[in-house]
Amino acid sequence: MEARRARTTSEGDEEDTVPYGYLISTVLMACVTAIALAPMHRPPVPAGLSFRLGMVPNEVPFLAFALLLASTLLAAGQGDLASPGGLAVLALALVTGAGLALVARRQSAAGPVLERALRDGLGTGWRTALDPGLAAGLRHRLPYARIPLGVHVRRRDVERISDLSYGDAGRRHRLDVYRHRSAPKGGPTLVYLHGGGYFSGRKNREARPLLYRLASQGWVCVSANYRLRPHAGFLDHLTDAKKVIAWTREHGHEYGADTGTLFMSGSSAGAHLTSHCALTQNDPAYQPGFEGADTSITAAVCLYGYFGDYYGHAEGSGSSPLAHVRPDAPPFLIVHGDADTYVPVQGARDFAGALRDASDAPVVYAELPGAQHAFDLFHSLRFDRVVDAVEAFAAWVRSRPGTGGPA
């Protein structure tokens, strides 16, 4: 790191200089940490830029702290902290470190919040209603050694069978299957759909800690691409999602899946599709060419979902899942961040409220303190708690009569 140190003048006095390299790196870290703590929803920092700038410190504060510490130690080793200017930058680094500690503390609040949401949605005695075998498989301690850097998501005991075709649209009709390397039989099934606002995204980007965790527990997880804008519209997206379900029900047993127990999950736009699939099961209007296929699901998990109309009512008011809430909806788990600048949390609140008013099945709704959009990109303390909640919710659903029972 280039830095200016205190120099000695001809009179022997020290000239105070600023360690500019250390200053720039610290100011940058301070700015993104401030945005993580208080994301901006409107100019001068647009919502999308606020999300991108604050993503790393908000989801992996330990990594951000490690970078800040490394920069500080390097400056100390070069003697850059001896001057008043260097000490001023060090003070800013200490304040930034305290901000990152606050971010980490806020992440740790996800566990209690999710526990309360499960209790509120499933009942105070929900744990006692779990099948003993399923309850024994729930995780009680987080893998803390994997969390600090937030990027270690793969597991050696899981294999990914990639790029299987489920349609004729090339790479947009490809899916991956995650399963335990021992290839057990009769595991429950999860179909997952990525986010990206219907114009971007891919099947192996988000929610990987969830996919790998469940696969390591004997699940068979299917993560799929689908057609995107501008070459496809809402009905095309929804048709693709239902094709993935139909493919999984037809071929899942080839990979060890019990397709009688099929959960569906999605992030952002993927949650929009998931909610539609859950509320329009086996509806032939959304299954052109495969009207007779079984596209029913056992339960739905929506992560930071969008629940409004598709791009300004372009294809009718029925493009919002709110238009399809019904008494026979399956159980839902809805998780959203209260600091989401891309998809404000109010939409999730409204959808969860409408579902609770209409559905006979439980609706579990949790707002994660400080969570932004795309909180499932990293193997963070926050998302690991969400993974545990998904697994607990699924265990409760599977413990009910007629839902498949233990794997």
Handedness of CA 321, 323, 324, 325 (dihedral sign): positive
Tell me how far apart the alpha carbons of residues 151 and 389 are, in angstroms, rounded to a whole number. 21
Tell me how far apart the alpha carbons of residues 345 and 83 are, in angstroms, rounded to a whole number. 46
Q: Give, rounded to a whole angstrom, the gap between the first and last alpha carbons of the chain.
A: 55
Which tokens is 280 given?
A: 């329009």
Which tokens is 63 given?
A: 């990594």
Which residues, 6+ apart, have CB-to-CB distance to 219 below 8 Å? 178, 179, 187, 188, 189, 190, 407
Tell me how far apart the alpha carbons of residues 265 and 292 are, in angstroms, rounded to a whole number. 23
Burial of 371 (0-12, 13-18, 19+ CB in 10 A): buried
Tell me how far apart the alpha carbons of residues 80 and 25 are, in angstroms, rounded to a whole number. 14
Alpha helices in 168-233 (DSSP H): 208-216
Question: Hey, which residues does 175 pair with through a beta bridge?
Answer: 164, 224
Give the residue numbers marked as catalytic: 268, 340, 373
Tell me how far apart the alpha carbons of residues 71 and 23 are, in angstroms, rounded to a whole number. 10
CB atoms within 10 A of CB 292: 8
Task: For residue 209, give the nearest of 160, 262, 250, 150 by alpha carbon.
Answer: 150
How far lies 32's CA from each of 35, 47, 93, in Å? 5, 14, 13
- Among all chains, which residue has been given the structure tokens 């559905």? 359
CB atoms within 10 A of CB 303: 29
Residue 215 phi, psi dihedral angles, 5° rounding: -60, -35
Which tokens is 69 given?
A: 């510490």
Tell me how far apart the alpha carbons of residues 213 and 38 are, in angstroms, rounded to a whole number. 31
- Three-state secondary structure call for residue 301: strand
Tell me how far apart the alpha carbons of residues 187 and 262 are, in angstroms, rounded to a whole number. 10
